[in-house]
Structure 1
């Protein structure tokens, strides 16, 4: 049986390879198609096909349906022109919505559009686009899942000022009987779970890093992550591993990475550091961090502070780190395309 390899992003170690059968890929496309998408005549994809999400909806779906696909991830800034009369699926990353926000007139004119979102939280730009297209036939839905599990749940993207809807499990996904109203890590079983390279078969169940509160028999609210794993425009980034890399490139610094919401990428992180001596300037440290291993994104901003807030046991008080930067007003460096430092 042929299998396709998908790799999760490695940080200090090698990437982990997960294998999926052709049947699993086809089953996921058909399931999501029947549940959310309906008829699709044309695909416009901003998701690269080397990752599971892009492979499913920009390669497997067009092949099964014998329909054309535009790989817009190769040139995402090209003007959006949708084929008249064709029900079009737009495969979105978190960063795609800033581009779609400039094309709402084209989306509204076309009308027959369904936007599919995954690989990270829906951004404010996504909710603004949904609000602007409220009175059209355009729809927007998002998937929650991982390379290991495939898609496990779905919901409609809420517009600006709307309360987010609960997530609903896809019909072939099962989960333990966790009590309603309790917070726990999302653990699921499904015939679409991938097989890790060193496994002889797919696992019976898999626990994601997502923290959820069960709201019904097959629904839940997402409340955060149990680990320090974030996804920057769909690319996994373990903040604990980034901190170790920083310490290796700049010995003697006390560092802490803090996850932040990002209007363009969904999630990102900022780096805070303190030094007992002179230490590097924020801009110099940012230069040292260019080209982190395995394509890890550099921090959105670098802040120098007098001290990293820690508990009596030495653990970083993440909730207090951002407030520490007010002690050093000039200690900040950001890339040119981000807003100015406070």
Structure 2
């Protein structure tokens, strides 16, 4: 099957026979069309217009998306499924799709063919420099970019494995729509974890298909060497986007996976702009059909992927032209007003990373009433502060380094020390993560969140800190303040609900032990393990274990197992 544009309904064409040996968790043509038709029956008679679509599983997402298109509706894709995100987007739509369509006896209406000029999706920026911006993408824009991908990287004889969210433009195009238009299978599993990726690669190899991996700097930087990355299961190529991939991570990924790593540079507004493979050249090359003007370290883009293809788009990145492309120098629009004065966030970051303690720094405008800035800093392990006094001393040294270069009001007031810069599944420190890092400024009941790591689907380790302003410290005790035990248990339950999506009601505690007090300013980890009947948890810091136990949760449908 050759590449077929979206406006010609490629999902109604059969996949090649070589994919028939792939079963769950792979999307197959039969199950996809069955699910599309179930959604079309459910949608029949319901309001037209824009519908919110937020499905975690790729095949369920794809089926609902196609059903919206074949019924003349527009899909609205929120950046994530957090309640505050969905509450904001719901105000802008005509309907919201449930997780699955209820069975309907409605007759199946004939599918509508998408019009190239019609709006296909409403999508949002990730919000790295401000609140997310709402954008529309027409079918002709999507088809133009998909055709460019097909020309450079045809998918015949492959199976696509995506590690990134299809709610973002990169994951949508490369992980869902390109395989749909090329008639090749894609994995119905996000495969975020390396163990899942290795298993999917083996499955594709056994089916006689070469895999294409759609990934990001966050995933590629954490590939472990101990997994069976075999020559027989090697992918034919690996994609990365969302942020530049470091040269060392690119080399490491190519060595382990035995495949070229291709980076795609672009944005939600522009779509793809350029690509590179650092093993050959670290300069970026424009995608087919993309025209660039590079002057005075600035870039202007004209592209069929833009809303106005004939107009020049000013890209907010500084660039350096080279003989065979260009290099990225960083953002050009990171200027903010603090107390009426223009402050360069890039300048602050540059001064901070010169400090011997520093690995990486990010300065952010928090939009607070006081107008003061925040700083997120990754420091070397041997100088990471683990209590209030060492944290205060580190921040004092860094503020003193900044003091000769700027007015006091421009120096960040709010500091967060992280082991590594948090990132979403596209490798970006987005607005949602920034809000989470500084959430304790507005909520004095919760610990300060500094990052988390997953070990498979059922274990999550959060790095946290006890805020000095924690409301529960009041009365426990004036000369020796500590976090009450009941608060620690409640933290474990609430953070497990957030990490795993658990919905069960509290039923009891088991094996609860308090071993040492948890005081204000202490940096600690909370390991959460999802169990069949609830969760297990353990609080630990550089001082040792503080608390551990198990919580039993009863599902709200009475089955005994919490939903997640």
TM class by smaller structure = 0.5 to 0.7
Structure 2 residue 283 is matched with structure 1 residue 166? yes
CA contact (8 A) 1:46 1:93 kept: yes
Aligned equivalents of 2:300, 2:233: Cα separation in 1: 40
Range with bigger deviation, 43-52 or 74-83:
74-83
Structure 2 residue 118 is matched with structure 1 residue 2? yes
CA shift, 1:100, in A, is: 3.8
When residues 108 and 193 of structure 1 are mapped into structure 2, their CA distance, relative to the original with a 3 A threshold, is same
Structure 2 residue 396 is matched with structure 1 residue 305? yes
Map of 2:239 onto structure 1: 116
Map of 1:277 onto structure 2: none
Map of 1:198 onto structure 2: none
When residues 94 and 16 of structure 1 are mapped into structure 2, their CA distance, relative to the original with a 3 A threshold, is same
Aligned equivalents of 2:328, 2:215: Cα separation in 1: 20
Q: How does 1:8-23 map to 2 (within 5 A)?
A: 8-10=125-127, 14-23=131-140
2:219 aligned residue (96, 99, 108): 96
Q: Equivalent residue of 1:110, what SS?
A: coil
Task: Determine which structure has more spread, i.e. the larger CA radius of gyration.
Answer: 2
CA contact (8 A) 1:211 1:224 kept: yes
Q: Equivalent residue of 2:190, what SS?
A: helix
- What's the CA shift string for 1:229-258, capped at 9, x where partnerless? 99xxxxxxx94423x34xx5xx6x965426
Map of 1:26 onto structure 2: 143
Q: How does 1:3-82 map to 2 (within 5 A)?
A: 3=119, 4-10=121-127, 14-37=131-154, 39=156, 41-73=158-190, 76-79=193-196, 80-81=198-199, 82=201
CA shift, 1:173, in A, is: 1.1
Q: Equivalent residue of 1:191, what SS?
A: coil
Q: Equivalent residue of 1:166, what SS?
A: strand
CA contact (8 A) 2:161 2:191 kept: no
Aligned equivalents of 1:261, 1:30: Cα separation in 2: 44
Q: Equivalent residue of 2:142, what SS?
A: helix
Unaligned runs of 5+ in 1: 195-200, 231-237, 263-279, 286-301, 322-332
Structure 2 residue 310 is matched with structure 1 residue 189? no
Q: How does 1:313-324 map to 2 (within 5 A)?
A: none
- What's the CA shift string for 1:262-311, capped at 9, x where partnerless? 9xxxxxxxxxxxxxxxxx949999xxxxxxxxxxxxxxxx9532535243
Map of 1:241 onto structure 2: 365
Aligned equivalents of 1:57, 1:261: Cα separation in 2: 35
Structure 2 residue 326 is matched with structure 1 residue 209? no
Map of 2:332 onto structure 1: 226
Map of 2:276 onto structure 1: 155
Aligned equivalents of 1:139, 1:167: Cα separation in 2: 15
CA contact (8 A) 1:91 1:115 kept: yes
CA contact (8 A) 1:37 1:114 kept: no
Map of 1:291 onto structure 2: none
Aligned equivalents of 1:53, 1:12: Cα separation in 2: 18
After TM superposition, the score normalised by the length of structure 1 is 0.63
CA shift, 1:147, in A, is: 0.4
CA contact (8 A) 2:156 2:184 kept: no
Map of 1:325 onto structure 2: none
CA shift, 1:7, in A, is: 0.4
Aligned equivalents of 1:143, 1:255: Cα separation in 2: 31
Question: When the two structures are aligned, how many residues end up with a matched partner?
Answer: 266
Unaligned runs of 5+ in 2: 1-116, 335-344, 347-361, 381-386, 416-448, 454-462, 464-522, 525-564
CA contact (8 A) 1:175 1:188 kept: yes
When residues 205 and 261 of structure 1 are mapped into structure 2, their CA distance, relative to the original with a 3 A threshold, is farther
CA shift, 1:16, in A, is: 1.1
Map of 2:252 onto structure 1: 128
Q: Equivalent residue of 2:217, what SS?
A: coil
When residues 100 and 72 of structure 1 are mapped into structure 2, their CA distance, relative to the original with a 3 A threshold, is farther
Range with bigger deviation, 63-72 or 96-105:
96-105
CA shift, 1:191, in A, is: 1.4
Q: Equivalent residue of 2:291, what SS?
A: coil
When residues 153 and 12 of structure 1 are mapped into structure 2, their CA distance, relative to the original with a 3 A threshold, is closer
Map of 1:257 onto structure 2: 375
CA shift, 1:174, in A, is: 1.1
When residues 239 and 64 of structure 1 are mapped into structure 2, their CA distance, relative to the original with a 3 A threshold, is same
